[in-house]
């Protein structure tokens, strides 16, 4: 294999790709620290350290495991600012060591590690994970209700999980991922389209629904996870529309205020089927 062509390669490596995702998360991280101060700083640092340690334990041995870091940061950003530290630590180790590496390591896992950990945490400790903090204020019951104006929703002056408050900040991360060609536009756009469609059908106001909750964060950072989405273009389109619709269904009719986490986990299970059904058949004779 050493002598086999091609003899030149593109310079970008897996570490570069993961590095780009980390860079795309920086605006969201800074916003979280700005809005939630020491609470966010402490939890993000803890999640970063834990996921890197977890990655070293079960995953990549040479150099920092940036993929694990991405999982840890996404998990942390999708949790409220008052999440107990022990729960976060457990979540990080569960995401990396069990959900990712327990199922064959990077590129092999069935579920998105961050969302699987988030889902389990929410299912076992619902009370610890539903106390959302308003920035600079006391906890409110949920970020998805209340009288926040649309402007507040866009710039992030709303309660919610740490990374899910500001649509503008998330859009900066999206722009970086698109410019660096880490992801394509199909999944973010089409998942929002699927969500919007069902929101309108359900008769809910569209814009507040779009800009609240974890939908935008999910559309940019979670639905686009390479490993747990179909790889074919047709499969991606079907996956994106379905995950958008399911998010809306769960949000409006499900038991939890939020829909992204369980919608992703359900669609992760269907992604291999979508991929299988959309394998290109080649040009017909």
* 6 Cβ contact partners less than 8 Å away, ≥ 6 residues apart: none
Q: Quote the least distance from Cβ 124 to another protein, whole Å.
A: 29
Query: Cis before residue 163, ω within 30 degrees of 0?
Result: no
Of 13 and 149, which has the nearer Cβ to another protein? 13
Q: Quote the least distance from Cβ 213 to another protein, whole Å.
A: 27
Query: What torsion, rounded to 10 degrees, do the Cα atoms 105, 109, 111, 112 define?
Result: 50
Of 2 and 136, which has the nearer Cβ to another protein? 2
Of 206 and 233, which has the nearer Cβ to another protein? 233
Partners of residue 132 on adjacent β-strands: 140
d(CA 86, CA 18): 26
Of 45 and 108, which has the nearer Cβ to another protein? 108
Question: Residue 203 class from Cβ within 10 Å (0-12 exposed, 13-18 middle, 19+ buried)?
Answer: exposed
Of 106 and 264, which has the nearer Cβ to another protein? 106
3-state SS class at 181: coil
Q: Quote the least distance from Cβ 66 to another protein, whole Å.
A: 11
Binding site for another protein (CB under 8 A): 1-10, 12-14, 16-17, 67, 105-108, 226-227, 231-232, 279-285
Q: Quote the least distance from Cβ 12 to another protein, whole Å.
A: 5
Backbone angles phi, psi at 132, to 5 degrees: -85, 135
Q: Quote the least distance from Cβ 235 to another protein, whole Å.
A: 10
d(CA 145, CA 182): 34
């Amino acid at each position: 294999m050493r002598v086999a062509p091609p003899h030149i390669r593109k310079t970008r490596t897996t570490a570069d790709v993961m590095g780009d995702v980390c860079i795309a998360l920086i605006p969201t991280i800074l916003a979280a620290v700005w809005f939630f101060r020491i609470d966010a700083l402490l939890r993000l640092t803890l999640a970063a350290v834990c996921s890197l340690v977890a990655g070293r334990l079960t995953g990549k041995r040479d150099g920092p495991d940036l993929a694990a870091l991405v999982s840890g940061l996404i998990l942390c950003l999708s949790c409220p600012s008052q999440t107990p530290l022990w729960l976060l630590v457990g979540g990080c180790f569960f995401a990396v060591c069990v959900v990712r590496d327990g199922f064959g390591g990077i590129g092999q896992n069935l579920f998105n590690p961050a969302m699987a950990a988030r889902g389990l945490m929410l299912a076992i400790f619902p009370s610890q994970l539903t106390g959302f903090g308003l920035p600079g204020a006391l906890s409110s019951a949920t970020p998805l209700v209340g009288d926040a104006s649309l402007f507040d929703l866009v710039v992030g002056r709303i309660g919610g999980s740490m990374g899910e408050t500001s649509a503008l900040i998330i859009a900066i991360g999206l722009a970086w991922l698109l410019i660096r060609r880490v992801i394509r536009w199909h999944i973010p756009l089409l998942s929002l389209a699927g969500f919007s469609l069902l929101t309108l059908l359900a008769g809910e106001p569209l814009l507040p629904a779009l800009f609240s909750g974890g939908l935008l964060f999910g559309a940019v950072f979670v639905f686009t996870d390479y490993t747990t989405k179909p790889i074919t273009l047709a499969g991606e389109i079907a996956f994106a529309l379905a995950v958008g619709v399911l998010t809306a269904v769960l949000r409006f009719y499900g038991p939890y205020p939020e829909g992204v986490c369980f919608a992703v986990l359900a669609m992760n299970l269907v992604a291999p089927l979508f991929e299988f059904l959309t394998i290109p058949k080649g040009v017909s004779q």
